[in-house]
A and B are shown apart, each in its own frame.
Chain A
């Protein structure tokens, strides 16, 4: 194990061998190594983990659940890169999930057209989730409330709002084409995976090439200096919470589409914790100023794979949770900030 060896040349070797573009910074090898190790372990010990046709159906279904987590965690990565945190995402997932069926099952004249109905069924919940994100942003910037407290407000109230919207009912919609968002395939790739990849690619591109991306990293890296350099730090932060809200809404839509039903008390439950864990495992430091978008995807994958592995090994849930946490701790330890 090279990790036990802290000699400088060793670290250089590791840096050279890591996937350079994808994992810039050399701190991601912990998650990559663990991920590879878990896959190898599963190939060896899990019967029919991988067949000649690809991943077996059971594995597939299980791993597909990574898409919504990864989408939420991508937004969370941006929030954390500004030095903030967004606890409200799980509740926003529930709100978007509750609003969608109300729109596309609506019998209003315009919405009863299936195409318009489903399009609006996607756009309206995302807008609403974005507005709630803007609310978070205002609390953080205009009212200078610490992000963990500011977003706690909607963490608590959001799920209640979702239940009020859906009248406390579980809304079932088996016949609607809306479920394609969760079960459809394009070129044999699941739609949700495509959506996830598009989100990650776009966000990674935004961080790397746009003015907004620089502003975001600068604001998180040193807010006082950024303001003196003329950066509209408050606007940057508000925007980031809006993005986080919209992506949480998107993840909520995918979940209700997978389930063909919307249950406001369950959609996105603990979603914020999964997302935060994925960001941490992915190597984005919580002090702000850096965003490892692809690392977050790896983090989400790792967390889901750990869960899958523990389930297939029939490990009792309480024990599984402890092992899960231990592995996360181990990976985060490997990737901790080293003093120069």
Chain B
């Protein structure tokens, strides 16, 4: 490959939003006709970089060379005319119009001022057959499944004579056959000399289809390599910012209790949880007084496990036992009554009620307990609110302050208090310390420790290895929707977790499922 003449070269890209620096120093180099993986954790800056490339955002500094020429796209439309097409996770076409209309939207072929349907249909047919697809292009787009809709989006992209197609998590809503079809199309694009940027999380898929990889972390490009020279574990380590063989250091978090006096009693027993392609057999246990860390890369099914246990999402199969009893929760309300609480990873979208006060937010789940005949007891409410504001050190000007005016850390404390005031048996915490300042972070970690000491079972999802290794008594590692390892006490190390994330394969640990190389694109 001619390293000297890349199709796209983005250099020293920086971008700051009010209050957040999204990109510090990002690089991206795409060769002609290659499939390039762009990976990184949440908040690493992948989407910002893509949006700058496609003209949705303006960069603060840095340069973009396309085909050797400096470009500065002001809008996605300009980028499209410049040869860059983007296929988003959610297909953004018009579902009620026909396939052909979607492909030619905005530049329909005309004859004597009328639409030239014959030409439109013929060209769409030709485009799709290049991708190995033959469908009725006169039917509305919505009559086809998401995979086909994506193919139509790709067909639209190549009809623009695009040199570069950006695919943002294209496989997230596809089943395995559909993924195979997509990969076939990607290979076809390669043959035609089109480059593809593949943003994704599933390692198997990345290794199956991509030639090179760019890894981002904290707004920087930290690695750019030929994929076959980079092992999976190494890749995961780079992504998380760890060195292999790191000695386990302690004292980086607020967790201090090395081992909780875990009860004999199994509090939660989940077995064989399955739903579509996101959960394909998750098994885990939580004892009373135990902190169980749930580890896994993005898209490994961590959040889905949490939501399924809490009955916020349905399951296709699997059993959940709480205190040895089979559960039959139909809604979160049932789970709450049985003594389970869930703090969502997305505080803003699924946690706070922004315009309600700290008081109302804190007691939201406890209202049935605090009211008689549907009337809320102000005294009882005030008592709980005062207790928890003091106990968790929530900084608020008054309980009447709107929660949206609080800092992220204090919002998170209010949300924790929402569950703690119900005295639950099991608390599921999805990224409990994400996006909050260091001080509050340590406080929350100490609090979780303390709660476990008092007998609460905690299932803690985290992307931070320090949090998992220092906080957990047991770490369950998920990969592609499956439990691949369960690490106990002294077996818990950053290396072991990363190895399991990458391969699901680690000596001396309980292996639930082994690594299987999925062969895509054979059909």
Contacts and interface: CB of A to CB of B under 8 A. Distances in A.
B364 interface: yes
Contacts of B365: 229-230
Nearest to B405: A340
A289 B333 contact: no
Interface in B356-392: 356, 360, 364-365, 367-368, 371, 374-376, 378
B354 A228 contact: no
A203 interface: no
B418 A229 contact: yes
A210 B364 contact: no
B360 A214 contact: yes
Contact of A221 (B310, B350, B354, B418): B354
A224 interface: yes
Interface of A: 209-212, 214-215, 217-218, 221-222, 224-232, 289-290, 340
Contacts of A215: 367
20 contacts: A209-B375, A209-B376, A211-B371, A211-B374, A211-B376, A214-B360, A214-B367, A217-B360, A218-B360, A221-B354, A225-B344, A225-B349, A226-B364, A228-B342, A228-B350, A229-B418, A230-B333, A230-B365, A289-B355, A340-B404
Contacts of B405: 340
B299 interface: no
A227 B350 CA distance: 9
B333 A232 contact: yes
A210 B374 contact: yes
Contact of B364 (A209, A212, A214, A340): A214
B352 A230 contact: no
Contact of B355 (A221, A226, A228): A221
Counting chain B CB atoms within 10 Å of each CB, which of A210, A228, A340 scores highest? Answer: A228
Interface of B: 310, 312, 331-333, 335-337, 342, 344, 349-356, 360, 364-365, 367-368, 371, 374-376, 378, 404-405, 418
Contact of A217 (B310, B332, B356, B368): B356
A290 B404 CA distance: 14
A228 B310 contact: yes
A228 B367 CA distance: 14
A214 B371 CA distance: 11
A21 to B, nearest CB: 13
Nearest to B367: A211
B45 to A, nearest CB: 26
A209 B354 CA distance: 19
A210 B371 contact: yes
Contact of A214 (B350, B351, B376): B376
B356 A212 contact: no
Contacts of B312: 227-228
A271 to B, nearest CB: 28
Nearest to A289: B355
Contacts of B354: 221-222, 289
B319 to A, nearest CB: 23
Contacts of A230: 331-333, 335-337, 365, 368
Contact of B352 (A211, A212, A214, A222): A222
Nearest to A213: B376
Nearest to B346: A224
B494 to A, nearest CB: 31
B403 to A, nearest CB: 10
Contacts of B353: 217-218, 221-222, 225-226, 289
Nearest to B312: A228
